[in-house]
């Protein structure tokens, strides 16, 4: 019957060599098939003429493959007694030590967090990054096939000795601050408070499927219900029935948590109140994981599967799309997303890593003029936000990087490198993964499963706190005390972002950015009048500053900021366009050339300089006039400074 059914359809054969094919697996989008051919792995897209990807994956015949639709990772196992993890571009992510016997089976858990490995008398449970959680030596012969239950809590193995073996996944751990939670049995958990060694036992009516511990709450889903415990009181959880009872992901923010249950996403408060359920056309919940969904107090972000270049953004409290349903669209496929957790909703940022391993950041609010997507770094494999202040850390190639104030890219991109911490990460071996960023400690899991702790400076976090409560004097005092360029650079950017120009001036002076100090002087007058005006930014966006000044009729200031930043072409262009201060521009240009002992070669400058006598007295008088005029316009002129120009 099957043959008849198939024959009525078309049967295609695309691998026509003599080598036996031992294993096949579908890709996540059902548009590609992965199969084995001797020591080679082959990914064949089903569209005609699409490129086939083929690579040598093992030193022996490959016996088994699996491809997970959630994390898009590939497993392979072979007669060379090794199992390996690959990404779908054939890049190796993990390579096991050789075992005593060929590896006869590998299988992903449905959510892609774990996989199981079978061999002769051997069953192993591994993390998705390859390292081994648990090893069992059952009397089974070779395990030829492994199947996971849909909820990812149990496995069954097909054994060479005629048995079928079952196993439950227990002893999972969750940690937060001083609490350690362990799943001890299928329906029981143990909570240990490491401060006083107090132990609490939690019992559940049904099998535990998923759990998450963060922000002083433990959220547990069983096959029917959801339990919410507060770390302050383990005895009286809030319990409510699940809508569908197949929770595949729990994510927490300080205000609420999110469940991916069956085909929907549900947001609940910690009191168990349903809040919202965001949706978009073609949403596939089966492939969502912690890398493709992110939650903050105000926002839910989801990377789409149908088009991996797109991130959907929702208002958490209503589940409605943000900003008229405008989604965020990037030029490349996006692998991992993360919302920052602190600060005002209007400043909410999302960081993400794309297919080229570029780390980018952009604003979540996408009203009106689309916020730019800005690249923060390249070759980044993993990222994490600290959740009490917006500090981002990541592993970049062989470096460990902390972006103490990622927002710097929006105010002054030039000084971004000065706001980073960089450490050597080559000792972490390949594909380390950031587990947590708690306090000043970043915990990294190496590919072999061992944990490494890195301590970062506590001062930037304190600086964030001062700035968020506008304690500028304390912030300056802290920087003077710590005496580090990184701190001053962060403070400079924070001050500009918050339009505290006095602090910005001090901070820029401390890192020797004299141009910026001058520039601040030149815009101060304007800012005094426009406390609530748009952001004024540096080179990252000098055009914007210029537009702001021109709109306010401050043509001379717009010209002067270009002069200060040696944007000679633009300075002259503006002067000519507005028929003012052409002589000022020429005078500064001449002064600049003299200082650097250069000859004029620019054609436009040569043209306008022809026959013009530079008269500094006249120019100074004109500038004085401009400044007086602006002072008169300015309501609070007493503290505004003049340009301090000394020809
Ligand atoms: C997030 O929500 C919690 C609880 O409502 C609140 O205490 C906290 O201040 C919020 N955080 C931010 C950054 O808004
Ligand atoms: C973030 O950093 C602050 C300050 O260093 C720390 O107190 C807090 O615990 C950190 N939070 C997390 C979850 O990383």
Work out which ligand 2 atom sits closest to the CA atom of 214. 13
Most confident of 127-131, 346-350, 353-357, 636-640: 353-357
Cα 563 to Cα 445, 546, 602: the distances in Å are: 50, 12, 15
Instruction: Please say if the pLDDT value at position 375 is more than 80.
Output: yes
Q: Crossing angle of helices 514-529/616-633, nearest 10°?
A: 40
Q: How many Å apart are CA 356 and CA 489, to the nearest integer?
A: 29
- Whether the CB of 461 sits within 6 Å of ligand 2: yes
Could you tell me the pLDDT band of residue 171, with boundaries at 50, 70 and 90? confident
The per-residue pLDDT for 539 is 46
Distance, CA 225 to ligand 1 centroid (Å)?
A: 26
The per-residue pLDDT for 529 is 46
- Whether the CB of 178 sits within 6 Å of ligand 2: no
Distance, CA 495 to ligand 1 centroid (Å)?
A: 23
Cα 166 to Cα 64, 155, 161, 453, 546: the distances in Å are: 20, 6, 14, 36, 69
Tokens of 553: 């009729």
**Residues 566-589: tens digit of each pLDDT:** 788 889 999 999 988 898 899 888
Buried b vs exposed e over 579-613: b needs ≥16 C-beta within 10 Å?
ebbbbbbbbbbbeebeeeeeeeeeeebeebbeeee
Q: CB neighbours of 203 closer than 8 A, spacing ≥ 6?
A: 187, 188
Q: How many Å apart are CA 123 and CA 165, to the nearest integer?
A: 10
Q: How many Å apart are CA 613 and CA 576, to the nearest integer?
A: 17
The per-residue pLDDT for 322 is 86
Instruction: Please say if the pLDDT value at position 549 is more than 60.
Output: yes
The per-residue pLDDT for 190 is 95
* Contact between residue 428 and residue 445 where contact means Cβ atoms under 8 Å apart: no
Work out which ligand 2 atom sits closest to the CA atom of 388. 1
Angle at 256 between CA 254 and CA 259, to 5 degrees: 125
Could you tell me the pLDDT band of residue 507, with boundaries at 50, 70 and 90? very high
**Residues 448-477: tens digit of each pLDDT:** 777 788 888 889 999 999 999 999 999 999
Distance, CA 393 to ligand 2 centroid (Å)?
A: 12
Counting ligands in written order, the one closest to the CA of 455 is 2
Q: How many Å apart are CA 609 and CA 589, to the nearest integer?
A: 10
Work out which ligand 2 atom sits closest to the CA atom of 177. 9
Could you tell me the pLDDT band of residue 556, with boundaries at 50, 70 and 90? confident
| Between 553 and 539, residue with greater pLDDT | 553
* Contact between residue 42 and residue 56 where contact means Cβ atoms under 8 Å apart: no
Instruction: Please say if the pLDDT value at position 494 is more than 60.
Output: yes
Instruction: Please say if the pLDDT value at position 264 is more than 70.
Output: yes
Distance, CA 5 to ligand 2 centroid (Å)?
A: 60
First and final C-alpha spacing in the chain: 94
Rounded to an integer, the average pLDDT of 406-422 is 89
- Whether the CB of 388 sits within 6 Å of ligand 1: no
Distance, CA 151 to ligand 2 centroid (Å)?
A: 33
- Candidate of 215, 254, 256 to mutate for ligand 1, largest count of ligand atoms within 8 Å of Cβ: 254
Work out which ligand 2 atom sits closest to the CA atom of 462. 4
> What's the chain's length in residues?
647
The per-residue pLDDT for 527 is 47
| Between 5 and 322, residue with greater pLDDT | 322
Say what the alpha-carbon torsion angle 489, 494, 495, 498 is, to the nearest 10 degrees. Answer: 170
- Whether the CB of 98 sits within 6 Å of ligand 2: no
Nearest CA to ligand 1 atom 12: 342
**Residues 395-404: tens digit of each pLDDT:** 888 888 999 9
**Residues 67-101: tens digit of each pLDDT:** 999 889 999 999 999 999 999 999 998 999 999 99
The per-residue pLDDT for 427 is 75
By mean pLDDT, which of 122-136, 227-241, 269-283, 430-444 is the weakest?
A: 430-444
Work out which ligand 1 atom sits closest to the CA atom of 296. 1
Question: Helix (H, G, I), strand (E, B), or coil: what is residue 624?
Answer: helix
| Between 24 and 129, residue with greater pLDDT | 24
Q: What distance separates the 2 farthest-apart alpha carbons in the chain?
A: 102
The per-residue pLDDT for 524 is 60
By mean pLDDT, which of 45-49, 459-463, 499-503, 623-627 is the weakest?
A: 623-627
By mean pLDDT, which of 206-220, 333-347, 427-441 is the weakest?
A: 427-441
- Candidate of 215, 255, 469 to mutate for ligand 1, largest count of ligand atoms within 8 Å of Cβ: 255
- Whether the CB of 297 sits within 6 Å of ligand 1: yes
Cα 297 to Cα 142, 252, 344, 473, 630: the distances in Å are: 49, 9, 10, 30, 43
Counting ligands in written order, the one closest to the CA of 389 is 2
Angle at 568 between CA 562 and CA 572, to 5 degrees: 90
Tokens of 96: 């096991």
- Whether the CB of 581 sits within 6 Å of ligand 1: no
Q: How many Å apart are CA 330 and CA 287, to the nearest integer?
A: 20
Nearest CA to ligand 1 atom 13: 342
| Between 364 and 478, residue with greater pLDDT | 478
* Contact between residue 263 and residue 285 where contact means Cβ atoms under 8 Å apart: yes
- Whether the CB of 437 sits within 6 Å of ligand 2: yes
The per-residue pLDDT for 635 is 39
Nearest CA to ligand 2 atom 6: 439
Question: Helix (H, G, I), strand (E, B), or coil: what is residue 147?
Answer: strand
Nearest CA to ligand 2 atom 14: 438
Distance, CA 549 to ligand 1 centroid (Å)?
A: 37
- Candidate of 179, 253, 403, 461 to mutate for ligand 2, largest count of ligand atoms within 8 Å of Cβ: 461
Cα 178 to Cα 229, 350, 438, 439: the distances in Å are: 15, 29, 11, 12
Counting ligands in written order, the one closest to the CA of 269 is 1
The per-residue pLDDT for 574 is 92
Nearest CA to ligand 2 atom 7: 439
Looking at every residue in the chain, the average pLDDT score rounds to 85
Instruction: Please say if the pLDDT value at position 430 is more than 80.
Output: no
Nearest CA to ligand 2 atom 12: 438
Nearest CA to ligand 1 atom 2: 255
- Whether the CB of 340 sits within 6 Å of ligand 2: no
The per-residue pLDDT for 249 is 93
- Whether the CB of 634 sits within 6 Å of ligand 2: no
* Strands lying side by side in the sheet with 451-455: 433-438, 441-445, 451-455
Instruction: Please say if the pLDDT value at position 530 is more than 50.
Output: no
The per-residue pLDDT for 523 is 64
Work out which ligand 1 atom sits closest to the CA atom of 342. 13
The per-residue pLDDT for 234 is 95
Work out which ligand 1 atom sits closest to the CA atom of 341. 13
Buried b vs exposed e over 100-117: b needs ≥16 C-beta within 10 Å?
eebbbbbbbbbbbbbbbb
The per-residue pLDDT for 632 is 66
Could you tell me the pLDDT band of residue 542, with boundaries at 50, 70 and 90? low
* Contact between residue 520 and residue 539 where contact means Cβ atoms under 8 Å apart: no
Nearest CA to ligand 2 atom 2: 439
Work out which ligand 2 atom sits closest to the CA atom of 384. 14
In order of start, what are the domains of the chain with their CATH numbers? 15-168 (2.130.10.10), 170-269 (2.40.128.630), 544-647 (no CATH)
Q: CA quadruple 463, 466, 471, 477: dihedral positive or negative?
A: negative
Work out which ligand 2 atom sits closest to the CA atom of 438. 14
- Whether the CB of 216 sits within 6 Å of ligand 2: no
DSSP string, 544-586: HHHHHHHHTT-HHHHHHHHHHTT-HHHHHHHHHHTT--HHHHH
Angle at 249 between CA 319 and CA 234, to 5 degrees: 100
- Whether the CB of 255 sits within 6 Å of ligand 1: yes
Place of tokens 């919940």: 285
Cα 354 to Cα 337, 375, 446: the distances in Å are: 9, 10, 22
- Candidate of 253, 296, 297 to mutate for ligand 1, largest count of ligand atoms within 8 Å of Cβ: 297
Instruction: Please say if the pLDDT value at position 335 is more than 80.
Output: yes
pTM over 0.75: no
Instruction: Name the phi and psi angles at 206, rounded to 5.
Output: -120, 175
The per-residue pLDDT for 134 is 81
The per-residue pLDDT for 325 is 63
Counting ligands in written order, the one closest to the CA of 437 is 2
- Whether the CB of 347 sits within 6 Å of ligand 1: no
**Residues 146-161: tens digit of each pLDDT:** 999 888 888 999 999 9
């Amino acid at each position: 019957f099957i043959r008849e059914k198939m024959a009525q359809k078309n049967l295609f054969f695309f691998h026509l060599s003599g080598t036996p094919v031992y294993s096949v697996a579908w890709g996540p989008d059902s548009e590609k098939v992965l199969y084995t051919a001797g020591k080679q792995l082959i990914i064949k897209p089903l569209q005609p003429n699409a490129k086939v990807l083929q690579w040598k994956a093992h030193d022996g015949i490959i016996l088994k493959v699996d491809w997970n639709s959630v994390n898009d990772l590939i497993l392979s196992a072979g007669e060379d007694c090794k199992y390996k993890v690959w990404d779908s571009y054939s890049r190796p992510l993990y390579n096991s030590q050789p075992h005593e016997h060929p590896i006869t089976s590998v299988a992903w858990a449905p959510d892609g967090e774990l996989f199981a490995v079978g061999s002769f008398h051997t069953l192993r449970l591994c993390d998705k990054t390859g390292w081994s959680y648990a090893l069992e030596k059952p009397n089974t012969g070779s395990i030829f096939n492994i199947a996971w239950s849909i909820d990812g809590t149990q496995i069954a193995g097909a054994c060479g000795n005629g048995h079928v073996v079952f196993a439950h996944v227990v002893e999972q751990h969750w940690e937060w601050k001083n609490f350690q939670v362990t799943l001890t049995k299928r329906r029981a958990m143990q909570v240990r408070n490491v401060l006083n060694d107090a132990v609490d036992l939690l019992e559940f009516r049904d099998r535990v499927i998923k759990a998450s511990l963060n922000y002083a709450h433990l959220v547990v889903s069983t096959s029917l219900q959801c339990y919410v415990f507060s770390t302050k009181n383990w005895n009286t959880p809030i319990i409510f029935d699940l809508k569908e009872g197949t929770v595949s992901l729990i994510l927490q923010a300080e205000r609420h948590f999110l469940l991916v249950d069956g085909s929907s996403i549900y947001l609940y408060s910690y009191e168990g109140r349903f809040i919202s359920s965001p949706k978009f056309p073609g949403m596939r919940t089966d492939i969502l994981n912690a890398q493709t969904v992110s939650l903050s107090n105000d926002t839910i972000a989801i990377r789409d599967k149908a088009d991996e270049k797109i991130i959907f953004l929702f208002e958490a409290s209503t589940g409605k799309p943000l900003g008229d349903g405008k989604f965020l669209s990037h030029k490349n496929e996006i692998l991992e997303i993360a919302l920052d957790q602190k600060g005002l909703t209007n400043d909410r940022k999302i960081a993400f890593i794309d297919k080229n391993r570029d780390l980018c950041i952009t604003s979540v609010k996408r009203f009106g003029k689309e916020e730019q997507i800005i690249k923060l770094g390249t070759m980044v494999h993993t990222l994490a936000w600290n959740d009490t202040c917006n500090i981002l850390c990541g592993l970049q190639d062989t470096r460990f990087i902390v972006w103490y104030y990622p927002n710097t890219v929006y105010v002054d991109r030039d000084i971004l490198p000065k706001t980073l911490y960089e450490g050597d990460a080559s000792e972490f071996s390949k594909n380390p993964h950031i587990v947590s960023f708690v306090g000043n400690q970043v915990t990294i899991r190496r590919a072999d499963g061992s944990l490494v702790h890195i301590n970062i400076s506590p001062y930037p976090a304190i600086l964030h706190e001062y700035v968020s409560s506008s304690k500028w004097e304390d912030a300056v005092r802290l920087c003077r005390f710590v005496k580090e360029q990184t701190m001053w650079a962060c403070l400079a950017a924070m001050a500009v972002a918050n339009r505290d120009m006095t602090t910005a001036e001090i901070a820029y002076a401390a890192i020797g950015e004299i141009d910026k100090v001058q520039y601040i002087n030149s815009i101060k007058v304007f800012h005094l009048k426009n406390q609530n005006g748009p952001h004024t930014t540096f080179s990252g966006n000098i055009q914007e500053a210029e537009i702001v000044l021109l709109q306010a009729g401050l043509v001379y200031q717009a010209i002067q900021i270009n002069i200060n930043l040696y944007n000679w072409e633009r300075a002259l262009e503006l002067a000519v366009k507005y028929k003012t201060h052409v002589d000022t521009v020429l005078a500064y240009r001449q002064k600049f050339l003299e200082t650097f002992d250069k000859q004029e070669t620019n054609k436009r400058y040569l043209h306008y300089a022809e026959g013009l006598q530079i008269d500094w007295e006249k120019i100074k008088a004109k500038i004085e006039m401009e400044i007086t005029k602006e002072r008169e316009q300015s309501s609070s002129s007493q503290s505004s400074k003049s340009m301090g120009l000394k020809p």
